[in-house]
A and B are shown apart, each in its own frame.
Chain A
């Protein structure tokens, strides 16, 4: 029996270039998941996928928004930005491919692992991009609860 079909949702505005606050949105979502008692594996996958999406907006875009929905079955993350867009999505999905400038690499980013990392941690991963307009990433992370938790 499902006694608490709790659904939570929210959103965060992200500013391009705002490295000082980079990770705040992902940390807030992580905190919310922890407070809801979501299983650890799900929290880790959502946190990593969201953090990579957040960093991509900060590194490449003018601004963006990250929306999240937490249900008993899954966590949905949508990251949408006003940015340069991605010319070749297939190439961008390859591990190690990056267009990040040197100053971003000096900050520890731009390894060409961001999109592959988002895909790795998602059960459903979809990316749409228009050059000169922006990029939208949709991710669904299915919750893998054990039988006891699922029955509660």
Chain B
């Protein structure tokens, strides 16, 4: 699913964009637990999370996740936004809750990161 479509479907705003909007993202993972991101995600995944701290960006960068969506309209603090810019992580904010955001994307064909 392309970044543009994700933005539109989630009524999201892009607060930092590091990749083109026609970039295709293969999988999604939704969690607030960073070790779960590291354990289950694949590269080129989308991370949907309510954790709006720097840790979410750090973890995404380490796990080769290029796009992070913060749910429930939660805005990142200055340090988190600066880190996203520094690490080249694209950051979106959606007004939807994590559950709804997952449902919306699932309905349109986005799927969970596959097991090994």
Contacts and interface: CB of A to CB of B under 8 A. Distances in A.
Interface of A: 19-20, 22-23, 26-27, 30, 40, 44, 47-48, 51-52, 55, 107-109, 111-114, 116-117, 120
A51 B87 CA distance: 15
B115 to A, nearest CB: 12
Nearest to A113: B35
B62 A51 contact: yes
5 contacts: A27-B58, A40-B64, A51-B62, A109-B33, A120-B39
Contact of B34 (A40, A108, A112): A108
Nearest to B43: A44
B75 interface: no
Given A23-B58, A44-B63, A107-B55, A117 B39 contact: yes
B56 A113 contact: no
A106 to B, nearest CB: 9
B36 A113 contact: yes
Contacts of A52: 35, 38
Contacts of A114: 35
Interface residues of B, number: 21
Contacts, number: 66
B59 to A, nearest CB: 7
Contacts of A23: 55, 58-59, 61-62
Contacts of B64: 40, 44
Contacts of A108: 32-34, 51, 53, 55-56, 59
A129 B58 CA distance: 27
Contacts of B79: 20
Q: Which 8 A-B pairs have the closest CB atoms?
A: A113-B35, A23-B58, A111-B33, A108-B34, A111-B35, A108-B51, A51-B62, A108-B55
B33, B38, B51, B61: residue with the most chain A Cβ atoms closer than 10 Å = B38
A96 to B, nearest CB: 10
Contacts of A55: 34
Nearest to A41: B43
B83 to A, nearest CB: 9
Given A23-B62, A44-B43, A44-B63, A107 B35 contact: no
